[in-house]
Structure 1
Amino acid sequence: MAVVTTETPATAAPVAKRVPAERTHHDDTVIDEYAWLARKDDPETIAYLKAENDFTEASTAHLADLRETLFAEIRQRTQETDLSVPTRKGGYWYYTRTVEGQQYGIQCRRAIRDGETEPPMPADGAPLDGEEILVDGNALAEGQNFFALGTFDISPDGNLLAYSTDFAGDERFTLRIKDLRTGEVLPDEVPDTFYGSAWSADGSTLFYLTVDEAWRPHRVWRHTVGSPAADDVVVYEEADERFWVGIELTRSEKFVVIDVHSKITSEVRVIPASNPTGEPAVIAPRRQGVEYSVEHHGHRFLILHNDGAEDFALAYTSADAPGDWVPMIEHSPGTRLESVDAFANHLVVSLRKDGLTGLRVLPIGSTDTFDIDFPEPLYSVGLSANPEYDTNSIRLSYTSLVTPDSIYDYDLVTRRLTLRRRKPVLPGPDGRPFDPADYEQHRDWALADDGTRIPISLVCRAGTPRDGSAPCVIYGYGSYEASMDPWFSVARLSLLDRGAIFAVAHIRGGGEMGRRWYEDGKMLAKKNTFTDFVAAARHLVKSSWTSTDRLVARGGSAGGLLMGAVANLAPDAFAGIVAQVPFVDALNTILDPSLPLTVTEWEEWGNPLHDPEVYAYMKTYTPYENVAAVDYPAILAVTSLNDTRVLYHEPAKWVARLRAVAPGGSYLLKTEMGAGHGGPSGRYDAWKEEAFINAWILDHLPPSA
C-alpha cells in the first residue's frame, strides 16, 4: 500500500496505489483494490485524504475571490442577530437566538407575563426582557472544531433540562441534566447516547437511548435524576438488527412511547408517564410489512397505519385496553397520510396529494373536516412546534421556492391564518430589497422510460429565457420515501441572480407522489430512480430550460448514490456533478453487516449477502462497481471523516477508481477532517462550504448567453 508522497506537487492529482483485495460472492470474484482506504486509523489513509484536500485546494485556487463573494452575499442577505418566534409551553415562551459573529444558536426562555396572549417579537432580534439562557451553543463549542446539540428536552414541570452534545460529528452524544431553578448542571452524565429522550410526568425520571456497534439505537434506558449512570436500568432492548428504537413523550404528557421500527414494520410500546417503572405495554404486536404509529388522545390511542392501506389510514383503539382498530379515516389511494397530531379539541392530519403537502383538520365531535388552503402553486407546509395539548390554535411552518421560511398561527375555530414571522432576507449586492416577485417558480413534468410522468419543480429569475441559454442546477434524492418538497434558500439566490435555474427532480424512491412512488424506486426497482433523473435532465434540455453543457447535477447521501449512478448511466447529460457524502460504494457496504446501518438497510436495497438476484442487480448500478473508461463530466465529491452514515472511504475509493479507469477527467475529493454526515457544524462554516460548492458549480456553468 502507498499513497502520494509529500514531494508530489499539489497541482498533480494524488494517486492511490491499487492493492488487490479479493471478495468472492455467488461465484463472482471481485477485486476491490482500494479497500485499504477504509482503514481510518492508518496514517497513510489520513495522508492520502490530506493530499486530496491539497489537490482540491490547488485546483480551485482560482475560485478564491468568487468563494469570498458568494460567502459575503449569503452573510449580507442574512439577519445574523435574530430570534425565532417564541413557543408557549406552560408558563414560558421558549425560543432560539442567534448573534452576529457567533456560530451557534442560543436556547432561551422567558416567563409569560400577565395579559400576554401572543409571543413578543423584537424587530431587531434582541433578547427578550427577562430572558433566561438555557443552553448557549457558542459557550459549549468554545475551543472545539465541531459542535452539535442532540437532545433538548424540558421536563413537564419546566424545572429540568436534558441536553446532549457531540464534539466530533460521529453522533455519539454525552447527555447531561441542568436544573433550571438554580442554573446548575447536575452531576448526572451519560456518555455515548443517541438522539431522543422522554421525561416522566413528575420529572424524576429520564428515558434515553444508546446504540450498538452498528450505530443502531437499540436500548431504552431509565435514569433517575440524581443517581449515577451506572445505576441506570435497561427498559427495553431490541435484538432484531433490522429494527431501530425511538422514544418520546406524548403531547398529552400521559405516556412515554417506545417506537420500534424497521423500514417496513412497526411495533409500539407505551409506559404511563405517571408510573415510569411500569412495564412497557405493546399496542399491537409487529406483523411483517405493517407499519403504524401511535398518538394519545383522551381515552384512546390514534393509530396511523398501512394495514391494507398502501397510502395509510387512521384508526383508534382504547387507551385502557388496546385491541381492535376502529376506522376513522379510510384509505384513499393517492392521498398519503403521513402523521396525526392530537390536541384537546382537534386532530390535525399531515398528508400529501398530487405532489404537495397539506393539513387536514378534524374537529372533535363534528364531521366538519376541512383542509387548510394555501395560494401558491408550489409550497411546503407542516406543523411547527406545538407542545401545548389544550389549545385551539396551532403553529405552522410554510415555505416555497420563492417564499422565505414563514411561521403562521392558525385558529382552529375561526379558521384564521395569522403570519407571525417571515424570515428576513436583507438586500443583496445591488442594494435592492428582496422581492419574491423577482423570481418565478414552475412545475414541469418529464416522461420516464416506462411512461411515468416525473414532476420537476423549478425556480429562476423572472423573465429567464426559455431558449436553452440559461445555466441550471438539477437536484435529486429519491430514496427512503423522503420528499424533496420546495424550500427556500438564501444561498441559492446567488445562483439565480447570476442567471441560473434551480430544478428539483421528484424521482421515484422518494415519497412525493405517495407510497407507490417509493415502492417503485427501491429494492429491485431501484434503477427507476436513476433513469427518472436522467429523463428529468434530458427534459430540461429538450424543453429549452437549459442545455447539456450548462447543466450541473447535485445530490447528497443516497442522493450521492444517485449522482454516481447517473454519471455512469448518462455521462453526456451533464457538465458537472456534485456528490455530497455520497453512498457510492453501496454494494460493498450492504454486503458487510458489521458496518453501521447495513442490516437495517436490507429492507431498502435488498440483501445481496443472501439473495443472488439482489447481488446481481445491485452490481449493475452501484457507482463504484461500474466506473468505466468513458468521458465523465467534472465531479466534485465532498465527505467528512467522522461520518457514521456514509463512511468517508466510499467517495475516496470512488474518486481513486475514476482517476485510474477514466483518466483525463476532472475529479476532486474534499474531506472535512473534523465533522460528520451534515458537514461543518457552525453556521459560518456551513455558509463557507456552500460558497465553495456554488463557486465550483458556477465555474462549470457558462453564463447565460
Structure 2
Amino acid sequence: MLSSALACTNKDTKMETYKWPAAKAPIAEIKPKQRVLHGDTVVDNYYWMIDYFKKGPESTKTIDYLNAENAYLDKMMSGTKTLQANLFKELKGRIKEKDESVPVFKNGYFYYSRTEEGKQYSKFCRKKETLDAKEEILLDIDELAKGLPYYSATGYSVSPDNKLLAYGVDQVSRRQYTILIKNLETGELLKDSIPNTEGDAVWAADNKTLFYTSKNAKTLLSEKIKKHKLGTAASRDIVVYQEKDKSNYIGVGKSKSGKYIFIYSSATLSAEERLIPADQPDAEFKVFQPRIKDVLYNVTALADKFLIVTNWNAKNFRLMECPLDKTAKENWKEVIPHRKDVLLEDVEGFKDFIVISERKNGLAQLRIRKLNGAEHYIDFGEPTYNASVGNNPEYNSEKLRYIYTSMTTPVSVYDYHMDTKEKQLMKQQVVVGGYNKAGYTTERLYATAKDGTQVPISLVYKNGLKKDGNAPLLLYAYGSYGHSMDASFSSSNLSLLNRGFVFAIAHIRGGQEMGRQWYEDGRLMKKMNTFTDFIDCGNFLIEKKYTSSAHLYAQGGSAGGLLMGAVINLAPELWHGVIAQVPFVDVVNTMLDESIPLTTNEFDEWGNPKNADAYHYMKSYSPYENIEAKHYPNMLVTTGLHDSQVQYFEPAKWVAKLRATKTDKNVLLLKTDMDFGHGGASGRFDYLKDIALNYAFLLSLENINK
C-alpha cells in the first residue's frame, strides 16, 4: 500500500514529490514453475503470464492482470491528467500539421508524402516530370486507416513501367504485413494478396513478377524469399531461396541502377548475397561470395563493377571492388583500406560518384569520391551531430540528398552537388510556435569508465543552467546490436528543456559509435560493459554537477529497456526515476525458447543459454533473474500486447516480481497498450500521448505541475 505523500530520500537530499493517491497495487498470483539447466535450479513464479502468447489456460487471467495494472496506473497518475493533456497539446502544437516531404525524383516522377491538418496519417503522392504537374494520390492512408486502432503501410514499390504500386499493410502491429497491389491507372486493387510478409516487394523488369520476404507465422523469422506472378494465388508462389540458418535475417532488394535483384542473408558475424539480372526473373540466383565464418559483406552495383563493404581482414571494414562477372573474394581489389580509427559503414553508388559513410571519434562523416579518384568530406561544423545519406534513388544524379541534425538543429534535408560542392537546404523541420537554437547549449563530454575507457556523452540544455547539482537530468541510451545512438533534435524534448531538464545521450559500448570494437566490447561475454558504462556516465554527470542522484533519471527502450533493468539492479541508488519502454528483461527464458520471435536471430548478440558459460553469464545480468529485496527507484514500465520484438509478458513478469520483492515505497507503474505492439501507436499524434505520460511521470517526481 502506497502512502499518500511519497518522498525520495538519499544520503544527503530529501525532496517531496507529487502527492500520489493511496491506491492498492495489483498483486499477481504466484504459480511456481521450475527451470533446471546446467545444474542450476530457478523458480519462476510468473511464467504463467506467457499464456496469452502461447494460447494457454491462463490467457484470460493474463489479460485481467494487464488490465488491473492499467487501472492502477490510471489511478496513480490521475492527478496529472490536466498536466498530461497540456503536455499533449504542447507537443502536438510544435508539429506542423499540414506538411510535405521533400520530393524525390525516380524514373520520370517526383514522389512525396504530405499530411493534412487534423489528420493522423499521410498521403503518398507523385507528379510526372515536373513539380508543376497534376498531383496523383497513390495511397490515402487517412482513408485506409479509418475506424482502425492501428494501421501501418510500408514498402512502397512502383513497377518499372510506373503503372502498379505494391505495398505492405499491418493492422495488428505485429509486423506481419500483407502485400497488396494497386493499379495506378484505374485506382483499383488487384486480386493479388500476399499474407505474412516483411512488407517488402521488389519488381522484376517485366512488371509482372514480384520477389518478397516470407515470414514464419509462429516465430516471425524471415525464412524464405518467394516469387509471385501477377494473377496467381499466393499459395502457388515459388520459393527461390530458403534460409537454413535460424540466426540469419534475410531480405530482397534491387540495385539503384535497376539491373540486379539481390537476396541478402546476414547474421551478427557473417553474410551472404545472391543475385540475378532484373530482366531475367526466372533465372537461378547466383551466390556472390559464399558465406565465411566471421566475415560480413554487402554489395553495391555500379555500371561496370561491384563495390563491396566488408570486414574481411578488416575489423572496421574496408571497401573493395570486383568485376561484374567475377565476384568471388579472390577477385576483390582494395579501394579504401582498413583504418583503426575510422569505421567504414556504407557506400552509396551513383553514375559518376560514390558516397562513403564513415564514423570517426563517434561522429558520422560523409566522404564524396568522384570515380576518377578526387574526393572530399562534407563539413558540418558542430561538436556533436548526426548526418546520414537520405533517399537517393536516381543513379544518374550528381546531387546527394543527405539529412543533418544536432541536439539544437532541427532535422534538415540538403541537396549537395558532389562536383561543385554547392549545398542547398531543401527543408528544415518546422517547430511551430517558434524555436531559437541560440537559446540552447549542446556539449560533448567524455566519462571515464571503470576500465579507463572514455565514453562519449552528448547533452543539451537551455541556456542559463546552473551546474550546482540541482538540475533534473534525463540520461538516455540503447547500447546493443552495434546500433549507434547519434545526437539529434527532438521537438518533444523542448518540453523538458524548457522546464529546466538536461537531456543527455550516453554513447555506451554495445553501440558502434566508436568503431566495430565498441560493439564487440558490449555483446556476448562482454555485455556487462554496456551497463557499467551507463552507470559511469551517470556518476560522471553527478560529479560534474550537472545533476545529483535526487534528480537523475534514466530511460531506454527494447534492448535499452534491458539496460534500464540491469542498471537498477546494479546501482539502484543512483536514479530517482526510470522509464523502461518495451524492455527486454527476461533474457534467459526468452533465449531458451526458440518459438519466441527473434530468439534464434539473436544468439550472436546475447549467446545461446544452452551453452553453460553463456547461460551463467546471461543469468548474471538478466534483470528478471537479479531482482533482490532492496530499494529500487520510481519506475514507469511500458509494453504492447501485440509486441513482436519483446513480448508483453517480459515486462509484465518483471513488474510483478519487483512488486513482490522490493523493499521501498517508491512508485512502480506498468502500462500495456492493448491495441499496439513494439512501436506504439501508428498515428502521427497518438504516440505523443505516451510521451506526455512519460514526461508527466518525470515532472511529478520533480514536483513540477505546469
TM over 0.5, shorter chain: yes
Q: What's the counterpart of residue 30 of structure 1?
A: 42
Question: Where in structure 2 are the equivalents of 1:191-210 lying within 5 Å?
Answer: 191-210=195-214
- Whether the aligned pair in 2 keeps the contact of 1:560 and 1:582 (CA below 8 Å) is yes
- Distance in 2 of aligned mates of 1:328 and 1:440: 40
Q: Deviations over 1:21-40 (max 9, x none)?
A: 01100011110110001111
**Which stretches of structure 1, 4 residues or more, deviate above 3 A after TM superposition?**
none
Question: Where in structure 2 are the equivalents of 1:33-44 lying within 5 Å?
Answer: 33-40=45-52, 41=55, 42-44=59-61
- Distance in 2 of aligned mates of 1:334 and 1:34: 47
Q: Deviations over 1:462-481 (max 9, x none)?
A: 12111112111000110000
Q: What's the counterpart of residue 548 of structure 2?
A: 547
Supply the AA of the counterpart residue of 2:340: P
- Distance in 2 of aligned mates of 1:226 and 1:545: 63
What is the TM-score with the length of structure 2 in the denominator? 0.94
Q: What's the counterpart of residue 377 of structure 1?
A: 383
Q: What's the counterpart of residue 399 of structure 2?
A: 393
- Whether the aligned pair in 2 keeps the contact of 1:552 and 1:700 (CA below 8 Å) is no
- Distance in 2 of aligned mates of 1:559 and 1:392: 39
Q: What's the counterpart of residue 123 of structure 1?
A: none
Supply the AA of the counterpart residue of 1:337: L
Match of 2:367 among 360, 363, 383: 360
Q: Deviations over 1:537-590 (max 9, x none)?
A: 011110001111111100000000000000000000000000000001011111
Q: What's the counterpart of residue 307 of structure 1?
A: 312
Q: Deviations over 1:374-430 (max 9, x none)?
A: 111111111111110011111011111011111000001101111011011111xxx
Q: What's the counterpart of residue 181 of structure 2?
A: 177
Question: Where in structure 2 are the equivalents of 1:94-173 lying within 5 Å?
Answer: 94-113=111-130, 130-173=134-177
- Whether the aligned pair in 2 keeps the contact of 1:552 and 1:701 (CA below 8 Å) is no
- Whether the aligned pair in 2 keeps the contact of 1:379 and 1:400 (CA below 8 Å) is yes
Match of 2:414 among 408, 418, 441: 408
- Whether the aligned pair in 2 keeps the contact of 1:471 and 1:703 (CA below 8 Å) is no
Q: What's the counterpart of residue 289 of structure 2?
A: 284
Q: What's the counterpart of residue 86 of structure 2?
A: 69
- Whether the aligned pair in 1 keeps the contact of 2:168 and 2:200 (CA below 8 Å) is no
- Distance in 1 of aligned mates of 2:261 and 2:428: 34
Other structure's SS at 2:199 match: strand
Deviation at 1:228, TM superposition (A): 2.1
- Distance in 2 of aligned mates of 1:17 and 1:186: 50
- Whether the aligned pair in 2 keeps the contact of 1:295 and 1:301 (CA below 8 Å) is yes
Other structure's SS at 2:550 match: helix
Question: Where in structure 2 are the equivalents of 1:206-605 lying within 5 Å?
Answer: 206-212=210-216, 213-323=218-328, 324-365=331-372, 367-427=373-433, 433-605=434-606
Alignment length (residue pairs): 676
Give unmatched runs, 5+ long, in structure 1. 1-8, 114-119, 121-127, 428-432
Percent of paired sites with the same residue: 44
Supply the AA of the counterpart residue of 2:200: G
Q: What's the counterpart of residue 620 of structure 2?
A: 620
- Whether the aligned pair in 2 keeps the contact of 1:10 and 1:54 (CA below 8 Å) is no
Q: Deviations over 1:464-515 (max 9, x none)?
A: 1111121110001100000110111111101000010000000000011010
Other structure's SS at 1:561 match: helix
Other structure's SS at 1:548 match: coil
- Whether the aligned pair in 2 keeps the contact of 1:471 and 1:702 (CA below 8 Å) is no
Deviation at 1:10, TM superposition (A): 9.6
Q: Deviations over 1:638-675 (max 9, x none)?
A: 00000011000000000000011114332110000011
Once the two structures are overlaid, the 10-residue window that deviates more, 339-348 or 141-150, is 141-150
What is the TM-score with the length of structure 1 in the denominator? 0.94
- Whether the aligned pair in 1 keeps the contact of 2:167 and 2:201 (CA below 8 Å) is no
- Distance in 2 of aligned mates of 1:198 and 1:623: 41
- Whether the aligned pair in 1 keeps the contact of 2:179 and 2:201 (CA below 8 Å) is no
Once the two structures are overlaid, the 10-residue window that deviates more, 632-641 or 181-190, is 181-190
- Distance in 2 of aligned mates of 1:63 and 1:158: 51
Deviation at 1:176, TM superposition (A): 0.6
Supply the AA of the counterpart residue of 1:299: D
Other structure's SS at 1:389 match: coil
Q: What's the counterpart of residue 124 of structure 1?
A: none
Other structure's SS at 1:549 match: coil
- Output the aligned Cα RMSD: 1.3
Q: Deviations over 1:302-357 (max 9, x none)?
A: 11000010000000112123232111000011211111111000011111110101
Give unmatched runs, 5+ long, in structure 2. 1-20
- Distance in 1 of aligned mates of 2:201 and 2:179: 10
Q: What's the counterpart of residue 685 of structure 1?
A: 686
- Distance in 1 of aligned mates of 2:267 and 2:361: 27
Deviation at 1:226, TM superposition (A): 2.3
Other structure's SS at 1:490 match: coil
Q: Deviations over 1:61-96 (max 9, x none)?
A: 111111111111112111111001111112211001
Supply the AA of the counterpart residue of 1:70: L
CA 1:260/1:692 → structure 2, altered by over 3 Å: closer, same or farther?
Answer: same
Deviation at 1:697, TM superposition (A): 1.3
- Distance in 2 of aligned mates of 1:77 and 1:205: 44
